[in-house]
Amino acid sequence: MKNIAILTSGGDAPGMNAAVAAVIKTAFANNIQPWIVQDGYKGLITNQISKADIKFADSIVSRGGTVIGSARLPEFKEEKVREVAVKNLKKLKIEALVVIGGDGSYQGAEKLSKMGINCIGLPGTIDNDIVSSDLTIGFDTALNTVVNSIDAIRDTADSHNRCMVVEIMGNACGDLTLFGATATGAEVIATKESPLTKEEIISQVNELKKRNHRSVIVAVSEKQFNAEELAKEIMQKTGYDSRHTVLGHIQRGGKPTAMERYWATRFGIYAVEQLIAGKSALYIGLDGNTLVGRDIESTLNAAPKDRTQEYDAIRKINKGV
Ligand code: F6P
């Protein structure tokens, strides 16, 4: 193998750059020319594919976002569109591709593998919703942003004897909310996997009011409630002066944490090693402390992680029941 390309796809995530850098450096270390595809699958179609150099790799490790750009390209599901991608890659004699992104990106990678381009997927999303990996690139940094934000919100909540509703991103996955709430002692947690009704939330906040809690944090994952309306109703029905904050895209940016860079680098090295070993259509995941390669198809059909015990345990100690 002489040429490997790399792209980032879907929502940007801190640590993607460290993974890109690791792929570039591992390729050079094995006498392979690395190529960068700009703006995800879109760059394969528009032929924005250029040679990477080692200085570029060294300059991006600490940066947030993805410096090679990302885009969502629903049209990539169409075979005709993918054929253009394969043609452009083959023209440059690129026979392998590392795709960093969420599970939407893997479907494209799996299909490209069947069309003669060996693809390896790396889990890159703040949501931690790739079920066959314990950790996704971006999760640790986003989690730290969530924790710092809730800590800051707690200062005001304590100062003013308030209840604060905090809405946390994660698409359909509650991990950022669960882990963030656990790390900050948020009293009430509601996610898609472990939902609460509005009435249950209000009843829990009322219980906390009876116990003279100085402040209450209600951590809710996105798409569950209208956070502003929920805060208003809590105010009307519990007596707590209440406010809401939607953390939103602030969770996606920022410098990657040390652990993020560490694992992203390990993921990147491992991806190139797998390609050199002749593997294809693999999705790399973290299993405990071990990197593993699983076939993309089984990854896409795996059952979601069951965190019931974690929810029960944290609710019990934070007296949000
Ligand atoms: O997948 C990452 C994520 O930030 C989700 O948490 C969120 O639901 C979605 O992307 C937002 O997407 P966009 O940036 O396209 O609005």
Give 40's pLDDT tier (boundaries 50, 70, 90): very high
Whether residue 319 is predicted with pLDDT greater than 90 in this model: the reply is no
CA 316 to CA 320: how far, in whole Å? 7
Give 65's pLDDT tier (boundaries 50, 70, 90): very high
CA 186 to CA 181: how far, in whole Å? 5
To the nearest 10°, report the CA torsion of 189, 11, 246, 316. 10
Q: What is the pTM of this model?
A: 0.96
Q: State yes or no: is 127 an active-site residue.
A: yes
Angle of helix 16-29 relative to helix 258-276, nearest 10 degrees? 40
CA 227 to CA 36: how far, in whole Å? 40
- What mean pLDDT is reported for the chain? 96
Q: Identical fold at 3-138+256-300 and 140-252?
A: yes
Boundaries of every domain in the chain: 3-138+256-300, 140-252
Query: CB of 237 within 8 A of CB of 198?
Result: no
Instruction: Give me 62's structure tokens.
Output: 């600490």
CA 201 to CA 219: how far, in whole Å? 10
Give the fold, CATH level 3, of 140-252: Rossmann fold (3.40.50)
Q: What is the assigned CATH class of domain 3-138+256-300?
A: alpha beta
Give 297's pLDDT tier (boundaries 50, 70, 90): confident
CA 177 to CA 236: how far, in whole Å? 25
Closest residue (by CA) to atom 14 of ligand 1?
A: 11
Report how far ligand 1's centroid is from the alpha carbon of 128 (Å).
Answer: 12
pLDDT of residue 301: 78
Pick from 106, 99, 70: which is nearest to 271 by CA? 99
- Looking at 39, 103, 127, 140, which residue is catalytic? 127
